[in-house]
């Protein structure tokens, strides 16, 4: 090791799902939406004037913030936007988790949380889920410097009620509680209304999943104006121009057309419910999902074998070689045609 390497900030990075370069694959591994975004997005980009690119974008991304505020019936001062919810969450960790006490999150959850805790030097403790992967709100009364919970949870897909979330938020007035609602539009009820009642609650959502815009990178947080101000102070201490002009234009158009994404979410929900039946018939077990993916385990065949066999057939799903979840595959809900191809392949593999 070179001498200077002693002074390097060393990180064990998050490993995102594979993005294969081949064209004719069925990609059910990163919870992307199989449908295109709203036609209003296409129109906004077609009307985008490239001459404007020479100018810096609006550091406040006001157009987008106002559109989101309008859609969710909150004030613009209660909305923060960032480059995907990963950016928003990382910044929220940096802003709110600044205590010597450990932050808490479930032992099985989005695997970025411990990565952010490490990089921002935040002490953390993981809290075990129940054996059926549900969450016990009573455990979140331990002394802590903050809490983060994905609801629905990843990779299990399990949705906890607003009542359960409220128990955690109300029991922790001394900490900021972040609820990551990346998958809330697929059938759960958002805890956004609780932000009016609790000043320590930050709700984070994304345009990547339900709005089919993973490629343009838009995430947002809603909370009381004081929380949002603290986040903006940190953001403007790092990089003022996080949201580029095309993202602001596309995102504004998408935010104003919520009817469209609600329609595609309904299609995905219907496909998901049919997939639950088909997979059960094939001998899979899974927690009940209210997200756009299913976390499945086969009664007899190993997850890793199925994963590899599917890959040979150019069907990509997600598998983790981690002790707690190595028996499971996470399958993103695609179009019904993609799901049919998946079922055909599975029937062949399980024979
Ligand atoms: C996908 C996902 C995100 C981040 O998505 P972005 O594309 O960065 O908005 C955040 N949290 C969870 C639980 C996710 O699954």
Helix (H, G, I), strand (E, B) or coil at 239: coil
In testing the pocket of ligand 1, which one of 86, 88, 183 has its CB within 8 Å of the most ligand atoms? 86
127 touches ligand 1 (CB under 6 Å): no
- What span, in angstroms and rounded, lies between the C-alpha atoms of 343 and 334? 12
Atom 11, ligand 1: residue with shortest CA distance: 182
Question: Tell me, what's the pLDDT at 17?
Answer: 84
Question: Within its chain, how far is the Cα of 147 from the centroid?
Answer: 16
Distance 89 CA to ligand 1 centre (A): 9
Q: Which residues of the chain register pLDDT less than 50? A: none
85 touches ligand 1 (CB under 6 Å): yes
- What span, in angstroms and rounded, lies between the C-alpha atoms of 350 and 305? 10
Question: Tell me, what's the pLDDT at 15?
Answer: 86
126: buried, middle or exposed (CB in 10 Å: 19+, 13-18, 0-12)? middle
Q: Positive or negative CA dihedral for 22, 24, 29, 32?
A: positive
Helix (H, G, I), strand (E, B) or coil at 124: strand
**CATH annotation of 20-36+259-350:** 3.90.1150.10
Distance 280 CA to ligand 1 centre (A): 27
Q: Positive or negative CA dihedral for 19, 25, 31, 33?
A: positive
86 touches ligand 1 (CB under 6 Å): yes
Question: Tell me, what's the pLDDT at 281?
Answer: 97
C-alpha pair distances (Å), 34 with each of 186, 204, 293, 334: 14, 22, 12, 5
Query: 39-256, what's its fold?
Result: 3.40.640
Distance 294 CA to ligand 1 centre (A): 16
191-230: burial string, b at 16+ Cβ within 10 Å, e else: bbebbeebebbbbbbbbbbbbbbbebbbbbbbbbeebbeb
Q: Please state the domain extents for the chain.
A: 20-36+259-350, 39-256
Nearest ligand 1 atom to the CA of 150 is 13
pTM here? 0.97
Nearest ligand 1 atom to the CA of 209 is 1
In testing the pocket of ligand 1, which one of 154, 205, 215, 320 has its CB within 8 Å of the most ligand atoms? 154
């Amino acid at each position: 090791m070179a001498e200077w390497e002693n002074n390097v900030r060393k990180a064990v990075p998050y490993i995102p799902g594979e993005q294969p370069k081949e064209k004719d694959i069925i990609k059910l591994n990163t919870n992307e939406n199989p449908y295109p975004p709203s036609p209003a997005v296409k129109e906004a980009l077609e009307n985008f004037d490239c001459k404007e690119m020479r100018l810096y974008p609006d550091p406040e991304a006001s157009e987008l913030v106002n559109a989101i505020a309008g859609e969710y019936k909150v004030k613009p001062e209660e909305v923060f936007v960032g480059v995907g919810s990963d950016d928003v969450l990382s910044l929220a960790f940096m802003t709110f988790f600044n205590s010597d006490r450990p932050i808490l999150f479930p032992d099985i959850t989005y695997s970025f949380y411990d990565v952010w805790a490490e990089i921002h030097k935040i002490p953390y403790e993981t809290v075990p889920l129940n054996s059926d992967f549900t969450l016990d709100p009573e455990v979140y009364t331990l002394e802590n410097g903050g809490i983060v919970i994905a609801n629905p949870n990843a990779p299990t897909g399990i949705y906890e009620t607003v009542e359960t979330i409220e128990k955690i938020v109300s029991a922790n007035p001394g900490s900021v509680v972040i609820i990551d609602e990346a998958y809330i539009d697929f059938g759960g009820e958002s805890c956004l209304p609780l932000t009016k009642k609790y000043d320590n609650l930050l709700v984070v959502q994304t345009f990547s999943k339900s709005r089919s815009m993973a490629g343009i990178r838009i995430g947002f947080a809603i909370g009381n104006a004081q929380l949002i101000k603290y986040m903006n102070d940190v953001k403007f201490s790092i990089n003022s121009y996080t949201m580029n002009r095309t993202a602001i234009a596309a995102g504004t158009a998408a935010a104003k057309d919520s009817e469209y994404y609600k329609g595609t979410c309904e299609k995905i929900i219907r496909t998901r419910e049919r997939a639950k039946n088909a997979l059960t018939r094939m001998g899979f077990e899974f927690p009940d999902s209210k997200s756009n993916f299913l976390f499945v385990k086969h009664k007899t065949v190993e997850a890793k074998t199925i994963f590899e066999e599917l890959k040979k057939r150019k069907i990509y799903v997600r598998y983790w070689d981690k002790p707690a979840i190595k028996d499971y595959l996470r399958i993103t809900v695609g179009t019904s045609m993609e799901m049919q191809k998946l079922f055909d392949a599975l029937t062949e593999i399980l024979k």
